[in-house]
Structure 1
Amino acid sequence: MLVLLAFIIVFHITSAALLFVATIDNAWWVGEEYFADIWRVCVNNTNCTEITDSFKGYSTVQAVQATMILATILCCVAFLIFVLQLFRLKQGERFVLTSIIQLMACLCVMIAASIYTDRREDFHQHNSNVYLLTSEGKYGYSFILAWVAFAFTFVSGLMYLILRKRK
């Protein structure tokens, strides 16, 4: 049982780390001379512009930012609740609250990555057409990490739902 518990803890911490990297790092969309994320657009690695309300689709970018931050916070809260429930629940009770919070984090990541996938063209097209990044480039590793974090948080949420506290 101790090995299973260690695996669950490591899996959850890995999920949280993936969420942190996907939210913070600047590689959601990359090209030869630029990279972009949900916070800024950088050309030649020196000319970085914060995504502000002057960008087309700024409200959509804010939705992605908010849901990624919320997913990260929920994942961390779920871990803290898991640790508390580990010592407070009676034997045989389920970690339902931890599971629900982790599945909500999973839902937030899915929403953020789905919005980004659907509306990517709007994110990186400045109104003054300085950055027309829609036709060239590819999804970066942070975007891929967001989808991997979705899978990890989903599996983690299911593990907590199934897990029973044993000796």
Structure 2
Amino acid sequence: MASLLIFITLLHLTILTVLFIATMEKFWWVWDNNARSDLWHNCRFDNETKDWLCDSSNETEWLHAVQVLMILAVIFSSISFLIFLAQLFTMSKGGLFYFTGVCQAFAGLNDFTAALIYTLHYKEILKGSRDLSSGHFGYCFILAWVCAPLLLCSGIMYIHLRKRE
């Protein structure tokens, strides 16, 4: 039982870390080594100062939806972890981690929806930034897609997990 709890805890913390990185890093769209975009900024590398110069992203309704959903995914996954820890120490023997699982699954649905919206509407989100044909999706976008099934699977795992002594 102890090894299962350690595995679940490490899995949850890993997913939470990857989700946070996907939300905050500057690699949702990459044009080349000198320009990239995320949910918050459009950045370009200045060769003279050897520094990144960032401007706020064009605010569109689609971008706001992705931002809100990714933040909600991080919040629900964090709440899920805290609830798991609380239930682990307070729940009686034989209890199920339903609330933890529901929060984690809801985080997965938020992440999935955000990644799907960005996939379908990246042209509207990035319009006016640069020529989109010379760019591609960055690793944070891929991390968001990887987190969605992991969050949903861990949510289902929590729902079926029973506390034992």
Give the TM-score, by structure 1 length.
0.91
Shift of 1:52: 4.1
Quick one: distance in 2 between partners of 1:137 and 1:155?
Answer: 32
> What is the rounded CA distance, in whole Å, between the counterparts of 1:147 and 1:39 in structure 2?
18
**Counterpart secondary structure, 2:133:** coil
Alignment-derived partner of residue 51 in structure 1:
57
Asked whether the equivalents of residues 31 and 132 of structure 2 are also in contact (C-alpha less than 8 Å), the reply is no
Unmatched 5+ stretches in structure 1: none
Identity, % of aligned positions:
39
Distance 2:63 2:134 in 1: 20
Deviation per residue, 1:54-94 (Å, 9 max, x gap): xxxx1110000000000000000000000011111111111
1:54-133 pair list within 5 angstroms: 58-126=60-128, 131-133=129-131
- Distance (whole Å) between structure 2 residues aligned to residue 133 and residue 105 of structure 1: 33
CA RMSD of aligned residues (A): 1.2
Q: Contact between 1:120 and 1:134, CA under 8 Å: does it hold in 2?
A: no
Measure the CA separation in 1 of the matches of 2:159 and 2:64. Answer: 31
- What is the deviation of 1:125? 1.3
How far the C-alpha of 1:116 sits from its partner, in A, is 0.2
SS of residue in 1 equivalent to 2:54: strand
Deviation of 1:147 after TM superposition, in Å, equals: 1.0
> What is the correspondence of 1:2-13 to structure 2 with a 5 Å cutoff?
2-13=2-13
Secondary structure of residue in 2 paired with 1:30:
strand
C-alpha distance in 2 between matches for 1:117 and 1:43: 22
* Equivalent residues in 2 for 1:31-42, closer than 5 Å: 31-32=31-32, 33-42=34-43
* Aligned twin of 2:49: none
Q: CA offsets, 1:105-132, max 9 Å, x none? A: 0000000000000000111112xxxx22
Mapped partners of 1:60, 1:133: distance in 2: 19
Query: How far, CA to CA, are the matches of 2:6 and 2:26 in structure 1?
Result: 31
**What residue number does 2:160 align with?**
162
The count of aligned residue pairs is 159
How does the TM-score come out when normalised to structure 2?
A: 0.92
**CA apart distance, 1:43:** 2.4
